[in-house]
């Protein structure tokens, strides 16, 4: 079976939900645990049953946390191939909120599971939905080939997604990414447009990867 961690501590999430919302979440988790295929029927309407909005003290929305917890329940009962098939279906037929939750779920997968959802990340990076772009450049982006990952970082610069959302920037930034960022900045200046401060962040990340290690 596959390990997928909840987005926030389950007990803390329930404290933020109403009594009715927490009971609804418990009921849905029990359904998915008993019959993982039921997630396809529950996923879209989950937030209507539990509640929406930001969770105090977290940069997380309740609806995202609820859906990722359902994904975690399904993952615990499915092998990698079956879980991947469910994630693809949920993403393919979901609205933007549901797609984002699937991407956030991919970011919470145990890396040792070997499940590769990079095709979903690439689809998200073809959009201009900043919430999807940010989620696509999370931890699961380690599966993206270098060229696709670099273009993902550039997409963040282009759409205004903070590069702080990019997992592994300090480790993967290379000369080609720095050059792409500098070309982007040159084009912006030539067009009389503002250059995002994050361009400097990307270039500096590459500079740090090339600094000699101190003895």
User: Per residue in 43-70, pLDDT tens?
Assistant: 999 999 999 999 988 889 999 999 999 9
131 has a pLDDT exceeding 60: yes
| Structural domain range at position 68 | 1-113
Domain closes at, from 47, 81, 113: 113
Give the total number of structural domains in the chain: 2
- Whether this prediction's pTM lies above 0.75 is answered by yes
Q: Tens of pLDDT along 150-206?
A: 999 999 999 999 999 999 999 999 999 999 999 999 999 999 999 999 999 999 999
Q: Are residues 41 and 97 located together in one domain of the fold?
A: yes
Asked if residue 78 lies in contact with residue 2, where contact means CB atoms within 8 angstroms, the answer is yes
Q: Phi and psi (nearest 5°) for 61?
A: -95, 145
């Amino acid at each position: 079976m596959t390990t997928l961690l909840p987005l926030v501590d389950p007990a803390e999430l329930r404290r933020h939900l109403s009594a009715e919302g927490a009971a609804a979440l418990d009921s849905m988790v029990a359904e998915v645990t008993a019959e993982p295929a039921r997630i396809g029927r529950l996923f879209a309407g989950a937030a209507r049953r539990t509640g929406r909005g930001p969770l105090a003290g977290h940069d997380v929305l309740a609806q995202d946390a609820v859906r990722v917890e359902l994904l975690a329940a399904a993952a615990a009962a499915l092998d990698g191939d079956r879980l991947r098939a469910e994630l693809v279906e949920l993403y393919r037929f979901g609205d933007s909120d549901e797609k984002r939750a699937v991407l956030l779920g991919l970011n919470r997968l145990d890396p040792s599971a070997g499940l590769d959802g990079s095709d979903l990340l690439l689809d998200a990076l073809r959009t201009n939905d900043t919430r999807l772009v940010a989620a696509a450049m999370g931890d699961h982006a380690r599966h993206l080939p270098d060229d696709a990952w670099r273009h993902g970082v550039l997409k963040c610069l282009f759409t205004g997604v903070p590069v702080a959302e990019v997992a592994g920037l300090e480790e993967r930034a290379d000369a080609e990414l720095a050059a792409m960022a500098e070309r982007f900045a040159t084009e912006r200046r030539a067009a009389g447009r503002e250059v995002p401060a994050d361009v400097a962040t990307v270039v500096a990340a590459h500079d740090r990867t090339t600094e000699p290690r101190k003895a």
